[in-house]
Amino acid sequence: MILYCGELKIKAGKRSEYIEALRKANLEDVFRRQQGNIFYYITESVTDDDTVVVTDAWETKNDFDAHVSSDECKIWFLLHDEFVEKDIRGDTFLVEKSV
């Protein structure tokens, strides 16, 4: 399983506008329907009014790579360019399931 954890610093005072743009594009639901998605969450930080956290998991690296190169993800990147001041962190992890 591939796990992605990202933290985005949104331009000052623009987080609500960014969240609304994400809702209008319905990206969480679209991404959740993509091949191999396990979960996809975009959440607002409770400690910083200008921070958003993205957490998603994919069955395989190929599924994750297909997601990142999808047409739907291009919308994500356009919104990122418009609203994100800085990528605070973005890490991808290979997680082995244990029984």
Q: What is the pLDDT of residues 26-81, one digit of tens each?
A: 999 999 999 999 999 999 999 999 999 999 999 999 999 999 999 999 999 999 99
Q: Are 12 and 49 in contact (CB under 8 A)?
A: no
Q: What is the pTM of this model?
A: 0.89
H helical segments located in 1-99: 15-25, 27-32, 61-68, 71-83
DSSP letter (8 states) at residue 99: -
Token pair listed for 63: 């599924």
- Which residues lie below 8 Å from residue 80, measured CB to CB, with a gap of 6+? 8
- Quick one: pLDDT band at residue 97, thresholds 50, 70, 90? confident
